[in-house]
Structure 1
Amino acid sequence: MTAVKIIKVLGTSTESWEDAAHEAVAQAQESIHDIHGIEVEDWTANVEDGQITEYKTTVEVAFPVIHEES
């Protein structure tokens, strides 16, 4: 049986929520190996003068717990 760790990561984009999710995964991949999946938890945005200026996507990133051998 494999234990799985889940962390929350916030991605941002000026283009879309989907791009923000891609950014969250790309950033997480820099320090986490073997990401198995994500779940989008929340979509938010910054608004200025009635226009969305920054999309934000909070994702839960799942990856296996790896025990290093002694």
Structure 2
Amino acid sequence: MAENVYKMIEIVGTSSESWEKAAATAISRAAGSLRDLRVAEVTEQDVVIEGGAVSLYRTKLKVSMKLED
């Protein structure tokens, strides 16, 4: 069995619609510049409030990627 090493990074996505959309936006953007993404773990969710209403959803994720040989 091959031994692998993975790197973890932290990213934050935003959306005016939902936490799920914020997470999907973050992963999609990261996948455009990083290779071999493996797993994402939601570590924090919060919202921005303006005028007494939610104006922005934010999702913080830890993302792992396999390091190349």
TM-score (norm 1): 0.91
The number of residues matched between the two structures is: 67
Pair 1:32-2:39 in alignment: no
Determine the structure 2 residue equivalent to 1:64: 66
After the TM superposition, which parts of structure 1 deviate over 6 Å for at least 4 consecutive aligned residues?
A: none
- The TM-score, its normalising length taken from structure 2, stands at 0.92
2:32, 2:8 → 1: CA distance?
Answer: 16
* In structure 2, distance between residues paired with 1:61 and 1:50: 32
Q: Which runs of 5+ in 1 are unaligned?
A: none
Query: Residue 66 of structure 1: CA displacement?
Result: 0.9
* Aligned twin of 2:25: 23
Task: Specify the code of the residue in structure 1 equivalent to 2:44.
Answer: D
Q: Give the Cα–Cα distance (whole angstroms) in 2 for the partners of residues 22 and 51 of structure 1.
A: 23
Match 1:5 to one of 4, 7, 10: 7
Among candidates 34, 53, 56, match of residue 54 of structure 1? 56
By how many angstroms is 1:10 displaced?
0.5
Give the RMSD, CA atoms, in angstroms. 0.7
Q: How far apart are 1:22 and its partner, in Å? A: 0.2
Unaligned runs of 5+ in 2: none
